[in-house]
Amino acid sequence: MASCKESLIVAAFDIGTTYSGYAYSTNNDPRNVCTNQIWIAGGRALVSLKTPTCVLLDPHGKFHSFGYEAENHYASLAEDENHHEWYYFRRFKMMLQEDKELARETMLEEINGKNMEALKIFSYSIEYLKDHLMRTLHNRLPDVTEDDIQFVLTVPAIWNDRAKQFMRDAANKAGIGNNKLVIALEPEAASIWCQGIETEVQRSSKGASANISAAGTQYMIVDIGGGTADITVHEKQRDKSLKEIAPPSGGPWGGTEVDNSFLEFLASVVSDEVMDTFKEHQMADYLDILREFETKKRSIETTSSRKILIKIPASLKEIFEEHGKTMASVKELFGDKVDWKGDKMRIDAEIIKNMFSMPVQKLVYHVRSILASRQMRNVRSIILVGGFAESPYVQDTIKESFGEKTIVIPQDCGLVVLKGAVVFGHKPSSISSRIARYTYGLELAVPFDKSIHPEEYRLEHKDGDFCDFGFWKAVVVGTSISPGQRVSRIGRPFEDYQDHVKYGIFRSTRPNTILVIEEDCEKIGDVCMELDSSKPSKDNTYDQTFVFGDTEIKFCTTNHVTGEEMQVYLEY
């Protein structure tokens, strides 16, 4: 990767589950981070410093628009019943975490059930933000080119290697080369930004600012976005870098879980059949309900007690009545907790608060389990960042649940990850060590040891007996590793005069895996090298080198005969 210092500008893209955006700064003033402040919402009441993560393709599958423009154009098409042949994708980021069989050919389902290649949709998203960034920059710096920019792409720290590589491939497809791209982990980026925040703009639960910048200070970062909650723990070092003292963890406990609960509740009021008909024939109104709830969601607190008013399109009531439903049935189901008159539905606050309860309580339970470790006894502050962290309900619950800790909520906490990613792009060495989330290694024929190796995998060889499917470990899960840490071995083919060698890169969740075919072991890549077929095995050697400690696992090979060096980005 080219040094970030060679670039005039560092720009970061955040493709979020719900919202996306970008930010940038110049090398001569890295912390003076600029974000786009003028996303056009089309006159909607909803205000955001980011734009919705929505991609619209025309009936031929060609890119049409992104963000508010896509949202509004699709709603307009739906008004006239002209939307059926178009492709409208929204909130698709979570599929990268949920799809365990993710591949370049993986398909993504749009809102009406049609499919398109997921890689294409992610690539369109990145390309749109890149083009928007370039137009913004040209207004200030007319001569700037993409070659002058180091790009940073944020991803959840809890994502696996496969999902990170998928995002890198999407960026490549969007015109960003590997030498111009850095992957930043979202809670790390947040932690880096919070290190430079002036104390007076940090709001803490104890009414005073929290000092997280002193050497030796340990604190937890809880990044809660639309899709995921992403948690890690850092310690500030004397050289001002950050050391990871707990590996990233988390789960699907973001704001979209609340949205899903709301839609399930609405279906319980009108029936699944009515909701399906409503979505199919009144898409514009369906989208309006989603926007309406997104706005209401931001005002819910743990102390909310008055009924919450949600505007309901007249078309939903018409379909409801066409299916033979009546207000009496709603009354029978919900009593006084739901009142639906005209275009207004008033819902008991406890029903709405229960929609928040499940993901937020799962988050609380997880945070509590991390803090229960003896290793975490010196963690005294919790920093809340991410779009869902702006929710009063989330903030209140975290403060009530962890009253003994100082809860820090930075200003514009929904932009903290994006701004921190820019700073990280200028100085990736801000993180001095990370914890290995897996045991990484190679599939090799290893010397046979009858005390640990099954007899059925014994291979007879002129140099002695070997075990097939052996797992050579380069690093063990839970180990502290520094960025750029290299672990190498010298490899050679199993037989003489081989013209190539192919071997697998594997990871395991356990420290003591023996064979790559064990259940906890997963292949994450293949390497194929050409060899000199005129040479015996002992003279046909090559280096196999893992590079650990960065946001992605890298692997390099060097052929000793030809001197050829190859860096491998993991296949999947």
CA distance 61 to 41: 24
pLDDT at 565: 78
In terms of CATH, what superfamily is 436-568? Answer: Substrate Binding Domain Of DNAk; Chain A, domain 1 (2.60.34.10)
Which letter, b or e, does each residue of 462-498 get, where b requires 16 or more Cβ atoms within 10 Å of its Cβ? eeeebbbbbbbbbbbbeeebebebeeeeebbbeeeeb
Instruction: Give me 29's structure tokens.
Output: 């003033």
Residue 4 has pLDDT above 50, yes or no: no
Query: Could you tell me which residues come within 8 angstroms of residue 561 by beta carbon, excluding any fewer than 6 positions away?
Result: 531, 532, 535, 539, 540, 541
**What amino acid occupies position 225?**
G
Residue 1 has pLDDT above 80, yes or no: no
Closest residue by Cα to residue 429 from 325, 550, 339? 550
Least confident of 164-173, 340-349, 530-539: 530-539
What is the mean predicted confidence (pLDDT) over 113-121? 95
DSSP labels, 345-402: EEE-HHHHHHHHHHHHHHHHHHHHHHHTSGGGTTEEEEEEESGGGG-HHHHHHHHHHT
pLDDT at 13: 97
pLDDT at 570: 61
CA distance 246 to 233: 5
What is the mean predicted confidence (pLDDT) over 396-408? 94
What is the mean predicted confidence (pLDDT) over 544-551? 89
Closest residue by Cα to residue 87 from 119, 68, 115? 115
Query: Could you tell me which residues come within 8 angstroms of residue 11 by beta carbon, excluding any fewer than 6 positions away?
Result: 22, 23, 24, 133, 149, 150, 151, 152, 422, 425
What is the mean predicted confidence (pLDDT) over 103-129? 94
CA distance 193 to 201: 12
Contact in structure between 527 and 505 (CB atoms under 8 Å) = yes
User: If pLDDT is split at 50, 70 and 90, which confidence band does 291 have?
Assistant: confident
Q: How far apart are the first and last CA of the chain?
A: 21
Contact in structure between 14 and 36 (CB atoms under 8 Å) = no
The beta strands (E) that lie in 451-553 are given as: 458-459, 466-475, 480-481, 485-491, 500-508, 521-530, 542-548
Helix (H, G, I), strand (E, B) or coil at 465: coil
What's the predicted TM-score (pTM) here? 0.88
Which residue matches tokens 């937020």? 360
**What amino acid occupies position 474?**
A
Mean pLDDT, the chain, whole residue set:
90
Map 6-48 to HEC letters. Answer: HCCEEEEEEECCCEEEEEEEECCCCCCCEECCCCCCCCCCCCC
The beta strands (E) that lie in 218-267 are given as: 218-224, 229-236, 242-251
Helix (H, G, I), strand (E, B) or coil at 559: strand
Half-sphere exposure of residue 553: CA atoms within 13 angstroms, side-chain side:
25
Residue 210 has pLDDT above 80, yes or no: no
Furthest C-alpha separation in the chain: 86
pLDDT at 197: 67
User: If pLDDT is split at 50, 70 and 90, which confidence band does 49 have?
Assistant: confident
Instruction: Give me 326's structure tokens.
Output: 């009546």
Query: Count of residues for the chain?
Result: 572
pLDDT at 66: 96
Q: Is the dihedral of CA 206, 207, 212, 216 positive or negative?
A: negative
User: If pLDDT is split at 50, 70 and 90, which confidence band does 48 have?
Assistant: low
pLDDT at 566: 75
pLDDT at 225: 92
pLDDT digits (tens, 9 = 90+) for 470-503: 999 999 999 999 998 999 999 988 889 999 888 8
Residue 2 has pLDDT above 50, yes or no: no
pLDDT at 572: 56
Instruction: Give me 348's structure tokens.
Output: 């008991």
Least confident of 268-272, 390-394, 548-552: 548-552
Query: Could you tell me which residues come within 8 angstroms of residue 85 by beta carbon, excluding any fewer than 6 positions away?
Result: 59
Contact in structure between 21 and 66 (CB atoms under 8 Å) = no
Q: Give the count of beta carbons closer than 10 Å to the beta carbon of residue 299.
A: 11
User: If pLDDT is split at 50, 70 and 90, which confidence band does 3 have?
Assistant: very low
pLDDT digits (tens, 9 = 90+) for 63-97: 999 999 999 899 999 988 899 999 999 999 988 87
Give the start-to-end residue ranges of the domains of the chain: 256-354, 436-568
Angle at which helix 314-322 crosses helix 256-270, to 10 degrees, equals 40
Helix (H, G, I), strand (E, B) or coil at 451: coil
Q: Name which residue leads in pLDDT, 266 or 501.
A: 266
Contact in structure between 147 and 179 (CB atoms under 8 Å) = no
What is the mean predicted confidence (pLDDT) over 252-276? 95
CA distance 444 to 557: 15
DSSP labels, 387-447: GGGG-HHHHHHHHHHTTTSEEEEETTTTTHHHHHHHHHHH-GGGEEEEE-SSEEEEEEEEE
pLDDT digits (tens, 9 = 90+) for 308-325: 999 999 999 999 999 988
Q: Give the count of beta carbons closer than 10 Å to the beta carbon of residue 309.
A: 13
Q: Give the count of beta carbons closer than 10 Å to the beta carbon of residue 528.
A: 12
Query: Could you tell me which residues come within 8 angstroms of residue 105 by beta carbon, excluding any fewer than 6 positions away?
Result: 117
CA distance 431 to 194: 13
Closest residue by Cα to residue 90 from 224, 226, 184, 223? 226
DSSP labels, 120-160: HHHHHHHHHHHHHHHHHHHHH-TT--GGGEEEEEEE-TTS-
pLDDT digits (tens, 9 = 90+) for 218-239: 999 999 999 999 999 999 999 9
Q: Measure Cα distances from 455 to 465, 515, 562 in Å.
A: 11, 13, 37
